[in-house]
């Protein structure tokens, strides 16, 4: 399932879709894995900026794909396409625009008890829908070690990056992937 952000929406309209992100933050704290990076707050700010961009008619297309079971959001992934934000992202990761239609995926989270279904969901629903929209290349940045194997199977590592934690305490090493559709 998916919803497309529009200019009439505010963050309260989409906050429920971030439940898996919020739960992952709690999981990190409970399991003593907290790395000074609050995914929920970063995702919230990212979505607020997307909403503002849509209201300014800057060309952003933002889809929130989600899995729901018994009225609980168990998985979420966000797609950004069709805007100057994509050009900025490609410049940040040192990728020259290819002239192809491009999307960036972010905020891929699945509740712990549902993990293992991500590859099929990503391929069958998210990537196939993006392909139907005319997207030809998809980019993903990830520092989550458990997700890297999935991205290695779906695409090609084209780079890496180091992110600095919220309070500048830690460095997060991650990879950039390109998936051809």
Q: What is the arithmetic mean of pLDDT over 1-6?
A: 96
The model's pLDDT over 63-84, given as tens digits with 9 standing for 90+, comes to: 999 999 999 999 999 999 987 7
Q: How far apart are the first and last CA of the chain?
A: 20
Within 10 angstroms of residue 117's Cβ, the number of other Cβ atoms is 12
Q: How far apart are CA 46 and CA 42, in angstroms?
A: 6
Total count of domains within the chain:
1
The model's pLDDT over 40-69, given as tens digits with 9 standing for 90+, comes to: 999 999 999 999 989 988 789 999 999 999
Structure tokens at 113: 């008890």
Helix extents (H) in the chain: 11-14, 19-30, 39-55, 84-92, 118-121, 128-132, 145-154
pLDDT for res 32? 87
Residue 44, domain CATH: 3.40.630.30
Confidence of residue 8 (pLDDT cuts 50, 70, 90): very high
Domain range holding 38?
A: 2-180
């Amino acid at each position: 399932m998916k919803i497309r952000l529009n200019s009439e929406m505010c963050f309260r309209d989409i906050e429920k879709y971030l439940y898996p992100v919020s739960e992952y933050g709690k999981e990190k704290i409970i399991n003593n894995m907290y790395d000074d990076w609050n995914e929920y707050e970063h995702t919230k700010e990212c979505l607020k900026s997307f909403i503002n961009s849509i209201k300014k008619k800057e060309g952003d297309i933002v889809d929130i794909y989600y899995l729901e079971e018994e009225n609980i959001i168990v998985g979420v992934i966000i797609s950004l396409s069709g805007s100057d934000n994509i050009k900025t992202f490609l410049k940040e990761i040192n990728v020259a625009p290819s002239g192809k239609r491009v999307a960036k995926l972010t905020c891929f989270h699945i509740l712990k008890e549902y993990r293992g279904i991500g590859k099929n969901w990503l391929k069958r629903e998210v990537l196939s829908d993006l392909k139907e929209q005319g997207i030809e290349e998809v980019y993903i940045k990830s520092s989550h070690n458990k997700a890297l194997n999935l991205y290695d199977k779906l695409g090609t590592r084209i780079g890496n990056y180091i992110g600095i934690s919220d309070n500048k305490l830690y460095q997060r090493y991650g990879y950039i992937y390109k998936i051809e559709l």
